[in-house]
C-alpha cells in the first residue's frame, strides 16, 4: 500500500455538504479497490479539492473516484511524509 494525493479542479462553489457527500460516495465503494480515502480538503474559491488516500496504485484511486462520479485531474504518489 502507498499513499496518494489527488487533485480535482473546477469545483468552484463546492459546499461542505457536497464535499461530505462526495467523500461518502468514495468511502461506500473504496473497499472494492482496497483503497482508503483518509482526508479531503477543498477551496471553493479556486475550485480545488485535495484527497489523501492509501491505495495499492494510482489507478485504483482513480477507479474509485470515477465510479463515484468525480474523476480526479491528477493523482500523485506521495511516498514521503512528515
The binding site for a second copy (CB under 8 A) comprises 3, 5, 14-16, 19-20, 23, 39-46, 48, 50, 52, 76-82
Nearer to a second copy, 23 or 67 (CB): 23
Minimal distance, residue 32 CB to a second copy, in Å: 20
Minimal distance, residue 12 CB to a second copy, in Å: 12
Which residue from 48, 38, 50 is spatially nearest to 3, judged by alpha carbons? 38
Residue 34 phi/psi, 5° resolution? Answer: 55, 35
Q: How far apart are CA 53 and CA 38, in angstroms?
A: 5
Amino acid at each position: 500500500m502507498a499513499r496518494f494525493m489527488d487533485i480535482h479542479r473546477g469545483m468552484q462553489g463546492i459546499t461542505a455538504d457536497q464535499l461530505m457527500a462526495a467523500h461518502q460516495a468514495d468511502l461506500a465503494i473504496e473497499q472494492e479497490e482496497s483503497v482508503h480515502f483518509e482526508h479531503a480538503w477543498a477551496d471553493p474559491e479556486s475550485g480545488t479539492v485535495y484527497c489523501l488516500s492509501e491505495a495499492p496504485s494510482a489507478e485504483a484511486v482513480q477507479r474509485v473516484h470515477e465510479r463515484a462520479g468525480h474523476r480526479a485531474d491528477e493523482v500523485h504518489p506521495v511516498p514521503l511524509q512528515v
